[in-house]
């Protein structure tokens, strides 16, 4: 059996006698009584009713129902005893005025750019209009050019295109969704010289190749398309006009033309019913095997002779967004905040994304209100944020946190996020010094489908994934599986990149953060950001009975209660140290592999192998030479990780020995050192080319968009052939890890003091 006793031992609960619990010195009975009462206050039927109401009309930014939902959510918080208000911001939020996409030539065709209603679905009963096919923050334009297919439109696809001897300069590209974040597709297209970008959903990735399509099954129907933001979030998220400051009414704003996160070329999403017409019109060479999707056509790359006409025009005015902020003041530590958020705006109805997470958040808030009514009070202050404007670019959370940045840096202890929920396995990403904290909660929750603990099930999943899945990062998966198989170790959690409201807290302010969901079964990918992500779809295919949405509320609720009431910090350092050691070894392997690849390629270029191995009757090209990879001096990073391991173990041991009995001035000193320890991982320099990202341990990849890159200053420099940056950031990253160790050593001294 794994040891999980420690966390519960320090979670003694004040005022618990009001709940009639048997309080004893160790405290587990208190916490069990508290979570039991909490769980009893959460009813699946209520979650279902709330989701049905919130998802009854389109609720994108600027829609009447978005505002109505914010007001309704506010009223609930107030009724449940929270001190709540709406905080409003004015953000740049473009909406379509005109858009068209046509195939020009002998067989002209006009894309529909609309999703027809489906009987028995909210898409047929709603009375307010949905946004048409649209990508927020694309660059308006009216362009005509030859069409080229570039698979997923990611960097490696352009490398392949180069070998095929095809250029996209002056062309319009068509790419499919998947493999990396949507916003990178038009960005990379532009960087390669394209003048427009069409993104379609191939049935291979979320349509009939996976399962029956909606309404018969869960997957994407032929006319469904994926809206989304293409704002360049790799630079900074939030309102493009107010980086680093809250988008309040009188905020200083950039000119639209100067905002670096708005793209330069027009882009539009289309359905596979429309895409089939464009793709089957393409001429030129046949697409490589891995580029072929599941449409019944011959996939071709295109010679550029097939012409398309793309026009997008938007209204670029400011629109209001409405964050609902609710506060439950702490009794013992009112200036220490546990923050919990989920957005409430959707692209259309937002059934799964975001309302499945939003109703879990509401259920938690109601249950906490009920506990307070019975006499309990949290030790720390609990702040709930129901964010608006997440979909266009994490607007609500970013603007709120920018407005309150100084206060958050002083008072913020932890941020817990959720977004869309499904069923199956507990999936947690976040700060890896919280692995023990998450484990302690997950070990006590029962998985409804299997009857074992949520933690046991996710351990099994992590181990099986490493064996069965064909993921690219096999070495990383194996390392994760090894950790998950060790019953004496906490279950590992994945690092966070971007893609939901935790980004500002984790990557700009340096608060420890968690992103929590259930998933891998009943996923809503097939209706993601479409008009068919509805109450009906969610309750039929994603979480029938609202069993896992209820479980999500209990899971996060237990985390909130535990973090609010634990006197000693919930972080554990040894797990984090082990993760950092693993990351450094992965980075070294990247350098070795890259060096080898450059040497192999140099030989191929020298011997003209690319040209000799190509079919001379077809166009082909030779890749740009890779730079020779120098030897890096990893010594500072190695030393920092070695020291971190020692300091971490000493801290965890000291906490286990003395944490539970610590009180008064020593407890206050420990809290002062540890509650903001994660902020030591921040650097004022930020990451190369994107100083908004200040966290030197966690960041979204510049070429993944959402996917995390750990120790990003070093890792991405090596991946992207920036050798000078690699050396600089080996030093800077070692510096922040040493600062983290310094803090641990000081905290250990406080714990061990006689």
Binding region for Zn ion (CB under 5 A): 353-354, 419
**Alpha carbon distance 154, 743 (integer Å):** 41
> Least distance to Zn ion from the beta carbon of 354, Å?
4
**Alpha carbon distance 542, 544 (integer Å):** 6
> Least distance to Zn ion from the beta carbon of 696, Å?
27
Tell me 505's DSSP state: I
What are the residue ranges of helices labelled H in 505-572?
535-537, 547-565
Q: Which CB sits closer to Zn ion, 183 or 354?
A: 354
Q: Which CB sits closer to Zn ion, 115 or 501?
A: 501
Task: Identify whether the C-beta of residue 303 lies closer than 8 Å to the C-beta of residue 147.
Answer: no
Say what the alpha-carbon torsion angle 429, 414, 243, 396 is, to the nearest 10 degrees.
Answer: 80
Q: Which CB sits closer to Zn ion, 351 or 354?
A: 354
Sign of the C-alpha dihedral computed for residues 384, 227, 707 and 446 taken in this order: positive
> Least distance to Zn ion from the beta carbon of 500, Å?
6
> Least distance to Zn ion from the beta carbon of 322, Å?
16
**Alpha carbon distance 454, 555 (integer Å):** 9
> Least distance to Zn ion from the beta carbon of 576, Å?
28
Say what the alpha-carbon torsion angle 480, 482, 486, 491 is, to the nearest 10 degrees.
Answer: 10
> Least distance to Zn ion from the beta carbon of 597, Å?
37
- The rounded Cα 38 to chain-centroid distance in angstroms is 28
Give Cα separations from 510 to 270, 409, 504 (angstroms): 38, 8, 8
> Least distance to Zn ion from the beta carbon of 216, Å?
26
Q: Which CB sits closer to Zn ion, 203 or 396?
A: 396
Q: Which CB sits closer to Zn ion, 369 or 525?
A: 525
> Least distance to Zn ion from the beta carbon of 117, Å?
23
Task: Identify whether the C-beta of residue 175 lies closer than 8 Å to the C-beta of residue 167.
Answer: no
**Alpha carbon distance 705, 722 (integer Å):** 19
> Least distance to Zn ion from the beta carbon of 525, Å?
13
Helices 355-373 and 28-40 pack at an angle, to 10 degrees, of 120
> Least distance to Zn ion from the beta carbon of 419, Å?
4
319: β partners: 91
Q: Which CB sits closer to Zn ion, 149 or 387?
A: 387
**Burial tier of 581 (Cβ tally within 10 Å: 0-12, 13-18, 19+):** middle
> Least distance to Zn ion from the beta carbon of 438, Å?
21
Tell me 273's DSSP state: H
Q: Which CB sits closer to Zn ion, 427 or 465?
A: 427
> Least distance to Zn ion from the beta carbon of 360, Å?
13
Q: Which CB sits closer to Zn ion, 158 or 528?
A: 528
Radius of gyration of the chain from its Cα atoms, rounded to whole angstroms: 26
C-beta pairs of 69-75 under 8 Å, 24+ apart in sequence = 69/344, 70/322, 70/323, 70/324, 70/344, 70/386, 70/388, 71/322, 73/324, 73/344, 73/358, 73/362, 73/386, 74/324
> Least distance to Zn ion from the beta carbon of 420, Å?
5
**Alpha carbon distance 77, 99 (integer Å):** 40
Q: Which CB sits closer to Zn ion, 275 or 363?
A: 363
Name the residue among 315, 317, 494, 321 with its Cα closest to residue 391: 321
Q: Which CB sits closer to Zn ion, 354 or 389?
A: 354
**Alpha carbon distance 268, 113 (integer Å):** 9
Q: What are phi and psi of 338, to 5 degrees?
A: -100, 120
Say what the alpha-carbon torsion angle 573, 576, 582, 585 is, to the nearest 10 degrees.
Answer: -80
Q: Which CB sits closer to Zn ion, 153 or 354?
A: 354
> Least distance to Zn ion from the beta carbon of 606, Å?
50
> Least distance to Zn ion from the beta carbon of 491, Å?
25
In what helix (H) or strand (E) does residue 413 lie, and over which residues does it extend?
strand 412-417
Cβ-proximal residues to 99 (8 Å cutoff; 6+ apart), any chain:
113, 132, 133, 134, 268, 311, 312, 313
> Least distance to Zn ion from the beta carbon of 555, Å?
18
- The rounded Cα 234 to chain-centroid distance in angstroms is 13
Q: How many CA atoms lie within 13 A of 742 on its CB side?
A: 9
> Where in 296-420 does DSSP place strands (E)?
307-315, 318-328, 333-343, 380-387, 412-417
The SS3 of residue 384 is strand
Q: Which CB sits closer to Zn ion, 8 or 524?
A: 524
The SS3 of residue 702 is coil
Q: Which CB sits closer to Zn ion, 353 or 439?
A: 353
Q: Which CB sits closer to Zn ion, 77 or 347?
A: 347
Q: Which CB sits closer to Zn ion, 419 or 678?
A: 419
Sign of the C-alpha dihedral computed for residues 167, 173, 178 and 180 taken in this order: positive
**Alpha carbon distance 104, 78 (integer Å):** 57
Q: Which CB sits closer to Zn ion, 344 or 444?
A: 344
Residue 517: both structure tokens together? 């969901």
């Amino acid at each position: 059996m794994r040891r999980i006793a420690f966390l519960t031992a320090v979670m003694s609960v004040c005022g618990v006698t009001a709940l009639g619990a048997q309080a004893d010195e160790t405290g587990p009975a208190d916490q069990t009584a508290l979570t039991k009462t909490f769980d009893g206050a959460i009813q699946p039927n209520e979650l279902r009713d709330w989701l049905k109401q919130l998802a009854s009309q389109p609720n994108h930014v600027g829609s009447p129902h978005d505002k109505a939902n914010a007001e309704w959510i506010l009223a609930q918080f107030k009724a449940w005893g929270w001190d709540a208000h709406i905080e409003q911001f004015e953000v740049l939020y473009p909406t379509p005025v005109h858009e068209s996409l046509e195939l020009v030539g002998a067989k002209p065709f006009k894309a529909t750019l609309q999703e027809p209603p489906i009987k028995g679905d909210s898409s047929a009963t709603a009375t307010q209009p949905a946004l048409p096919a649209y990508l927020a923050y694309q660059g308006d334009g009216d362009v005509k050019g030859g069409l080229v297919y570039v698979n997923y439109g990611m960097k490696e696809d352009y490398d392949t295109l180069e070998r095929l001897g095809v250029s996209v300069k002056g062309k319009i590209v068509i790419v499919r969704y998947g493999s990396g974040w949507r916003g990178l597709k038009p960005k990379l297209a532009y960087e390669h010289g394209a003048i427009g970008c069409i993104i379609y959903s191939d049935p291979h990735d979320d349509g009939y190749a996976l399962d029956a399509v909606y309404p018969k099954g869960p997957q994407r129907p032929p006319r469904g398309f994926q809206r989304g933001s293409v704002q360049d979030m790799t630079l900074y998220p939030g309102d493009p006009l107010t980086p680093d400051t809250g988008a309040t009414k009188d905020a200083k704003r950039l000119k639209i033309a100067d905002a670096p996160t708005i793209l330069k070329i027009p882009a539009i999403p289309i359905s596979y019913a429309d895409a089939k017409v464009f793709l089957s019109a393409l001429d030129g060479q046949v697409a490589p095997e891995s580029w072929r999707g599941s449409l019944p056509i011959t996939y071709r790359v295109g010679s550029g002779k097939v012409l398309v006409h793309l026009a997008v025009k938007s209204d670029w005015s400011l629109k209001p967004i409405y964050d609902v902020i609710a506060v439950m003041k702490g009794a013992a530590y009112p200036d220490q905040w546990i923050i919990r958020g989920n957005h409430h705006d959707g692209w259309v109805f937002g059934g799964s994304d975001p309302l499945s997470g939003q109703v879990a958040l509401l259920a938690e808030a109601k249950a906490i209100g009920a506990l307070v009514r019975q006499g309990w009070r949290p030790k720390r202050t609990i702040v709930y944020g129901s964010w608006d404007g997440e979909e266009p670019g994490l607007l609500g959370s970013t603007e709120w946190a920018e407005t309150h940045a100084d206060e958050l840096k002083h008072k913020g202890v932890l941020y817990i996020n959720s977004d869309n929920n499904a069923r199956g396995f507990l999936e947690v990403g976040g700060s890896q010094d919280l692995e023990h904290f998450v484990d302690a909660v997950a070990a006590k929750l029962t998985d409804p489908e299997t009857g074992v603990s949520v933690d046991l099930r996710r351990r099994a999943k992590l181990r099986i994934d490493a064996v069965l899945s064909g993921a690219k990062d096999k070495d990383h998966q194996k390392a994760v599986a090894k950790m998950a198989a060790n019953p004496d170790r906490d279950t590992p959690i994945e690092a966070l990149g971007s893609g939901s409201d935790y980004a500002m807290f984790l990557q700009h302010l340096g608060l420890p953060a968690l992103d929590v969901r259930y998933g891998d079964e009943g996923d809503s990918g097939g209706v993601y950001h479409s008009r068919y992500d509805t109450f009906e779809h969610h309750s039929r295919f994603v979480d029938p009975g609202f069993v896992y949405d209820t479980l999500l509320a209990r899971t996060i609720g237990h985390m909130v209660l535990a973090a609010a009431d634990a006197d000693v910090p919930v972080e554990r350092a040894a797990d984090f140290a082990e993760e950092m050691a693993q990351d450094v070894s992965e980075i070294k392997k990247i350098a070795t592999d890259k060096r080898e690849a450059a040497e192999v390629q140099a030989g191929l270029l020298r011997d003209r192998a690319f040209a000799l191995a190509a079919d001379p009757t077809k166009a082909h090209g030779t890749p740009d030479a890779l730079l020779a990879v120098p030897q890096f001096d990893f010594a500072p990073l190695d030393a920092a990780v070695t020291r971190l391991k020692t300091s971490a173990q000493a801290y965890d041991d000291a906490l286990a020995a003395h944490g539970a009995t610590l009180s008064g001035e020593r407890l206050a000193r420990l809290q002062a050192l540890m509650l903001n320890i994660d902020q030591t991982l921040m650097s004022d320099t930020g990451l190369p080319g994107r100083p908004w990202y200040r966290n030197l341990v966690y960041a979204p990849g510049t070429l993944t968009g959402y996917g995390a890159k750990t120790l990003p200053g070093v890792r991405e420099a090596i991946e992207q052939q920036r050798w000078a940056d690699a050396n600089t950031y080996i030093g800077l990253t070692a510096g922040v890890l040493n600062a983290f160790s310094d803090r641990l050593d000081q905290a250990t001294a406080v714990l061990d003091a006689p």
